[in-house]
């Protein structure tokens, strides 16, 4: 398992070692000890989620406020997505910046999206199965979002905006400058 910090160091790409032969493959997708050793802090994942989507579906940008803030460890089992994490920690040197990484069933790559980040993905291939772990349970009262097309981020979704399929909720999220429901960089959300 290889861990690589992105241009936003708190967002981490994880490349697992794939063992394959003519019979198929085996891959270890999660090791708490290795991840925690790399990060320097503990993560207690408590819920796994999975979605199946067609090409063009965009889910996000989503996050949960404290005390229900979530770290996500995301991956694609089948198909392909562009996965995006946006730093929404006011006072952070990378505030408003984003990381985008292609995750696929073929590359087995994963992305660790820490607390303090909004998360989204756009599906690049039909019948894509997306899975992720979270370290806090879903909390409707703490559920928040930011408009996926906020020009402040400059995200290239790799397809025309008029081809994207969004939920009614995701079409009307506020822009980052229109919300105070974000994180404070000086606060440790892992205590």
Cite the active site residues.
62, 132
Interatomic CA distance for residues 155 and 139, integer angstroms = 27
**How many CB atoms are closer than 10 A to CB 145?**
21
Interatomic CA distance for residues 81 and 119, integer angstroms = 13
Relative to beta strand 72-78, strand 128-134 is antiparallel
Q: Which two tokens stand for residue 122?
A: 């756009």
């Amino acid at each position: 398992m290889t861990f690589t910090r992105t241009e936003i160091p708190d967002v981490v790409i994880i490349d697992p070692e794939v063992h394959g032969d003519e019979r198929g493959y085996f891959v270890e997708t999660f090791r708490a000890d290795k991840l925690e050793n790399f990060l320097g802090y503990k993560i207690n994942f408590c819920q796994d989620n999975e979605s199946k989507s067609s090409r063009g579906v965009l889910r996000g940008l989503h996050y949960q406020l404290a005390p229900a803030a979530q770290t996500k460890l995301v991956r694609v089992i089948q198909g392909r997505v562009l996965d995006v994490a946006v730093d929404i920690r006011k006072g952070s040197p990378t505030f408003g910046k984003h990381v985008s990484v292609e995750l696929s069933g073929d590359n087995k790559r994963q992305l660790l999206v820490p607390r303090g980040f909004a998360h989204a993905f756009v599906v690049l291939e039909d019948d894509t199965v997306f899975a992720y772990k979270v370290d806090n349970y879903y909390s409707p009262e703490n559920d928040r979002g930011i408009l996926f097309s906020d020009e402040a981020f400059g995200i290239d979704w790799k397809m025309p905006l008029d081809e994207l399929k969004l939920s009614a909720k995701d079409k009307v999220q506020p822009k980052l400058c229109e919300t105070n429901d974000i994180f404070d960089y000086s606060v440790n959300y892992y205590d």
